[in-house]
Homo-oligomer: A and B are copies of this chain.
Amino acid sequence: MIEQTELRNAHGAGRFLLVCEHASNAFPEEFGDLGLDAAVREAHVAWDPGALGVARRLSDLLDSPLVAATVSRLVYDCNRPPDATGAMPPKSEVYDIFGNRDIRPEERLARTESVYLPFHTAVSQQLARMLALGQRPVFVTVHSFTPVWFGQKRDVQFGIIHDTDPHYAEAVVAAARDLPLNVALNEPYSAADGVVHTLRLHATPHDLAHAMLEIRNDLLGDTAAQEAMAGDIAVVLERALAAHDEDGRAA
């Protein structure tokens, strides 16, 4: 049995709920290594390198809970619904994911039940507990992306993505202006690319202020870099929340 989620700072008094779907490149024994060599299992297609380090530090700095997945996105991508090809992708960027070709229905079901469901149940539980106690957290997911994708260099360094309600994401972009980073709204992806499943499942049904953060992973090369980035982003998230509050928007 896999331990599918890391729950950190469950009783934090801060105003955020942090989620990290692509935190891990672990390949649990029961599903094997999908025929991939170590290089692929370390590559960005297997996880979001550095994202967990940032997310944990944000959890500490913002005194807010973090729910993080503990299994590679190639086994099951928790930011995709069970009927999406991308939930268990046969190909990811330029890599063939051999163990995801011709997956039998029982295998799709087993991975959904072992990875996707426990992860999202953990998010639902944490959120429902906060709501029951009168907290309406700002819902923030933490991701990283590769600087070179299909051979193309990406200039954006910090992308902020939203589901249907853009307001908090826009406030984050505004608050990030002072950072020495190339910041962009809805880059390198947007909701239209199917990357906001977690936001759609948890934030939007409750009308929660939300943002999906995408940090270019060459800026997160070691623990020191991740902690420094988290320090900058924590300030930005708090400032954006203050601006959002001032606009009279409920978090």
Residues on A lying within 8 angstroms of B by beta carbon are 81-83, 105, 108-109, 111-113, 116-117, 120-121, 124-125, 128-129, 131-134, 136, 197, 200-201, 204-206
CA of A128 to CA of B117, assembled, Å = 8
CA of A204 to CA of B163, assembled, Å = 13
CA of A120 to CA of B128, assembled, Å = 11
Among candidates B112, B131, B197, B200, residue contacting A132 with C-beta atoms closer than 8 Å: B112
Q: Which residues of B contact A206 (CB under 8 A)?
A: 81, 83
CA of A83 to CA of B205, assembled, Å = 12
CA of A201 to CA of B203, assembled, Å = 10
Say whether A132 contacts B83, CB under 8 Å.
Answer: yes
Task: Tell me the minimal C-beta distance from A204 to chain B in angstroms.
Answer: 7
Say whether B116 contacts A120, CB under 8 Å.
Answer: no
Q: Which residues of B contact A108 (CB under 8 A)?
A: 132-133
Q: Which residues of B contact A116 (CB under 8 A)?
A: 128
Task: Decide yes or no: A83 and B201 within 8 Å by CB, A117-B124, A121-B124 being known contacts.
Answer: no
Name 10 interchain pairs, CB-CB below 8 A, sorted by A. A81-B205, A82-B132, A109-B129, A111-B132, A112-B128, A112-B129, A117-B124, A117-B128, A200-B204, A204-B205
Q: Which residues of B contact A125 (CB under 8 A)?
A: 113, 117
Starting from the known contacts A117-B128, A197-B205, A200-B204, 7 additional A-B residue pairs (CB-CB under 8 Å) come to A82-B128, A83-B132, A111-B132, A112-B129, A113-B128, A113-B129, A121-B121
Task: Tell me the minimal C-beta distance from A164 to chain B in angstroms.
Answer: 9
